[in-house]
Amino acid sequence: MGDMTMSVRAIGPADLESVSAVLRESWGGTTLVALGRGELVDAAAQPGFVAELDGELAGVVTWRERDGAVEILTIDAVLPGKGVGRALLDAVRARRLKPSIPREADGIPIRHELELELLL
C-alpha cells in the first residue's frame, strides 16, 4: 500500500453539502453553541478548511475570528489516525499567522507561500 496524498484547502461553495453532512454526523446539525460567548452559530456558514486524502474527504475544521482571536468551532477527522486533525489545525494556524495572504488570486487558489530572498 503506497503513501496517501493529503491536501488541505479552504471550504468553497461546492463543499457546503459534504461539510454539512460531516457536521450533522458529528455534531447532530450545523448549528452549535460557540463556547467563547455561548452564542448559537451555523458552523457550515463559517470559514474553514477541508482535508482530502487521495481525493476523498478526510476532515473538516470550521472557525470564526472575533476581536483578533480565532475560535475553533468544529474539527472532525473523518479518517482518524492519518494526521488529518493536525493538518487542519496547521492550516488554521497558518491562516492566523499570515492573514494577509489571499485565499485565491485571479480565481486560482493559493495553498502555499514561498519566501524568496535576493542577496546583493
Q: Is residue 104 part of a domain?
A: no
Q: Is residue 22 part of a domain?
A: yes
Q: Is residue 47 part of a domain?
A: yes
According to the model, what pLDDT value does residue 1 have?
47
Q: Locate cell 491536501: which residue? A: 7
What are 32's three cell numbers?
A: 452549535
Q: How far apart are CA 58 and CA 96, in angstroms?
A: 22
Q: Is residue 80 part of a domain?
A: yes
Residues with pLDDT less than 50, the chain = 1, 114
According to the model, what pLDDT value does residue 35 have?
73
Number of domains in the chain: 1
Query: What range defines the domain where residue 40 resides?
Result: 6-98
What are 104's three cell numbers?
A: 485565491
According to the model, what pLDDT value does residue 39 have?
84
CATH of residue 25's domain is 3.40.630.30
- Mean pLDDT score across all residues of the chain: 82
The pTM assigned to this predicted structure is: 0.75
According to the model, what pLDDT value does residue 105 have?
58
